[in-house]
Amino acid sequence: MLNQFGNLENILENAEQIEKPSIRKSIMESKDRLQKNYQIIKLTDRAEIPFMLEELKCNGERLKTNDVLVDIGLK
């Protein structure tokens, strides 16, 4: 839905266009809760990020779960 609508605000404004009926209904019934939760968890641009966003782009290479776990120190 983010790919289709771009952000939560657009999803909520265009909920009637969501193809899957169960998701459309859930979003329309939960609009107030979704907006409140978004405000609670929203990230701001005031926090410094220790890397460049370009570094997060996927290059199409498939990663193995074990390699990711090792890289983040969980294995």
pLDDT at 75 (0 to 100): 72
| Among candidate residues 41, 38, 18, 43, the one with its CA nearest the CA of residue 28 | 18
Q: Which residue has the tokens 């404004």?
A: 13
pLDDT at 45 (0 to 100): 67
In tens, the pLDDT along 16-65 reads 999 999 999 999 999 999 999 998 887 666 777 788 878 877 776 787 88
Euclidean distance between CA atoms 64 and 75, whole angstroms: 13
Q: Where are the domains of the chain?
A: 2-41
pLDDT at 13 (0 to 100): 95
Confidence at 74, pLDDT banded by 50, 70, 90: confident
